[in-house]
Amino acid sequence: MVLEVTNLSKNFGSTAVFENISFSVKKGEIVCIRGKSGEGKTTLLRCINNLETPDKGSVKINDMYLCRENDGRIQYASKDELQIIRQEIGLVFQNFNLFPHMTVMENLLEAPIFLKKMQQDKIKERAAALLKQLQLEGKEHNYPYQLSGGQKQRVAIARACMLNPSILCFDEPTSALDESTINQISKIIRDLSGMGIAIIIVTHDNSFVDEIAEKIITLSKGKVTISEK
């Protein structure tokens, strides 16, 4: 398994968002997390991506613990381990979160250059290959404001793929997109899955879930039910 979540719980103050959630994701699997607004879908995704701190439980990515309980307290991986783990999981935000003052190419190069992931010429080669794969050739020098919603989505996907993650997470990937663009995103997600990347999608779009999911995780009143297709 590339991801194992065990007995994960999260509270905001005295309010329980979810309790004792457990599930796993294997290589190349497409998993959709759905539920009504306020059920904690995005919070769960943020806990998996180290953007929120859970109150209980463990998250293991490629046999490395992002966090786990120790004597009733959450213990996180060391700084060096966290740097490795963070490169194994990518997140495409609902609002894309592209740097507005950077071009498309600069958005893609920022993280791998900062992390010194590979030689700079190799980083640029990978960025160019991803842009070609996602039909963004010719957009390298454009700024985010010059792109359509679907193009921004694809740039965000390319940026998340720059570090060769084992897991790619999407927060509401079909939000505010038209049917044609949704079909493009669906194909891209299937292609990424076919390359062996595990896909986790948070969405309220049930028709998209029915069309693409191999495993469905439903959050309701802080509890989880899991169904396989």
3-state SS, 54-79, equals CCEEEEEECCEEEEEEECCEEEECCH
Give φ, ψ of 120 to 5 degrees: -60, -35
Q: Which helix (H) or strand (E) holds 32?
A: strand 30-34
**CATH superfamily of the 3-228 domain:** P-loop containing nucleotide triphosphate hydrolases (3.40.50.300)
Give residue-wise pLDDT tens across range 169-179: 999 999 878 89
Name the average pLDDT for the chain. 93
The answer to whether the CB of 76 falls within 8 A of the CB of 67 is: yes
The answer to whether the CB of 153 falls within 8 A of the CB of 189 is: no
Burial of residue 82, with CB atoms counted within 10 A of its CB: 0-12 exposed, 13-18 middle, 19 or more buried:
middle
How confident is the model over 13-26, as a mean pLDDT?
Answer: 93
Question: pTM of the predicted model, to two decimals?
Answer: 0.93
The reported pLDDT for the residue numbered 97 is: 95
Residue 203 pLDDT class (50, 70, 90 cuts): very high
Give residue-wise pLDDT tens across range 59-114: 999 999 999 998 888 999 999 999 999 999 999 999 999 999 999 999 999 999 88
The reported pLDDT for the residue numbered 188 is: 95
| In the chain, domain spans | 3-228
Q: Is residue 228 scored above 90 in pLDDT?
A: no
Q: Which phi-psi region, left, alpha or beta, contains residue 24 (left: φ > 0; alpha: ψ -120 to 50)? A: beta
Question: CA nearest 57: which of 10, 108, 99?
Answer: 10
The answer to whether the CB of 95 falls within 8 A of the CB of 102 is: no
- The letter for the amino acid at 154 is R
Give residue-wise pLDDT tens across range 108-131: 999 998 887 778 889 999 999 999
> Is 38 or 25 the better-scoring residue by pLDDT?
25
